[in-house]
Each structure stands twice: as C-alpha cells, then as structure tokens.
Amino acid sequence: MHGSKRVLFLDLVLSVFRLNGLLIAEGDDMTEGLGLTHARWKVIGAIALSNNGLTVPGIARVLGQSRQAVQRITDVMVEDGLLEYHKNPKHKRSVLVLLSEQGKEIYNTLREVQDPWAIDATEDIPVEELETALRLIRRLIKKFN
C-alpha cells in the first residue's frame, strides 16, 4: 500500500507550485528598481552562471522553457543594451548570448541584494537538509526530463 507516499508526493508537488510563485515574487522584490522582470533576471542569472556564454536554446534548456520564449526576451534585452549577441565559432546561425557591460553591472548590483537574501533564507536550515532536498529535486528533474 503506497497511499501515504502518494499523498505525500502530491503535497510536495503542490508545495513546489506554491514555492515557485513565492520565489518569483521574492526575485521581483529584489530587482525592484533595477528595471528587471522575472523573465529577465532569470536569463541574466543563467548567462552569468555559464562561463562561455550560452546559445538561446541553451538558456531555454537551463530554465526549462521553450526556446521561442527565451528568444523573444533576449531580443528585447539586446535592444535594451543588457545583452550582446556574439559570433559562435561552433555554429553559423546560433549566436552566443553574453552580458553587456551594463548587464554585468546590473548583475553585480543584483548580487549585492541576492547574497544576503540567500544567507538569511537559509539561516536556520542545516546544510544536510538543503543537500537532501536538492538531491531529491534533481532526481525528479532527471525523471521527468
């Protein structure tokens, strides 16, 4: 009988939905004044975490979104001077997306708010619990991928 396990898991799923919304709200609060929406700081974060830049479909894979949705955002962000398209030696059409100088400045400003936030959020949570939760979430990601 796996009844309680099933309920436990459905509870987890609903909680992930809820936490997802709250995390986006937190991010939007943090980026208030930087002129960023959640779609934008997600892209900036994904690029900043990569060393050599990412292609548009690459960003989409990291964020778990469609490449078309990411393409639309990056196009506007390039127009706004936050990102730059660079030639990709490995692909004639698929350019690399990198942070512009302005984009880097905004990311640094974001980090100044984000770092204390992350530390505060995990203040009273043991590292082991974070690791267990992350491992479980990764396992589910792999399963559903």
Partner DNA sequence: GGTACAATGACAACATGCTGACAGTTGAAG
Partner DNA sequence: CTTCAACTGTCAGCATGTTGTCATTGTACC
Contact residues for DNA (CB under 7 A)? 21, 25, 28, 37-40, 42, 55-58, 64-73, 75-76, 90-95
Distance separating alpha carbons of residues 86 and 92, to the nearest angstrom: 11
Out of 32, 75, 101, 137, name the contact with a second copy by CB under 8 A.
137
16 binds a second copy (CB under 8 A): yes
Site for a second copy in 79-118 (CB under 8 A): 114-115, 118
User: Is residue 21 near a second copy by the rule CB under 8 A?
Assistant: yes
> Of the two residues 76 and 137, which places its CB atom closer to a second copy in the complex?
137
CA-closest candidate to residue 74, choices 83, 65, 64, 66: 83
Task: Evaluate whether 121 touches 141 at the Cβ level (below 8 Å).
Answer: no
8 A C-beta contact, residue 123 and residue 117: no
Q: Is residue 28 near a second copy by the rule CB under 8 A?
A: no
For the chain, the C-alpha Rg in angstroms (whole number) is 18
7 or 141: CB nearest DNA: 141
Compute the distance between CA of residue 59 and CA of residue 68 in angstroms, rounded to an integer. Answer: 11
Beta carbon of residue 28, minimum distance to DNA (angstroms, whole number): 7
| Residue-wise DSSP of 17-33 | HHHHHHHHHHHHHHTTT
76 lies in the site for a second copy, by CB under 8 A: no
Check binding of 140 to a second copy (CB under 8 A). yes
Q: In residues, how long is the chain?
A: 145
Q: Residue numbers of the site for a second copy (CB under 8 A)?
A: 2, 4-6, 8-23, 25-26, 42, 45, 62-65, 114-115, 118-119, 121-122, 125, 127, 129-141, 143-145
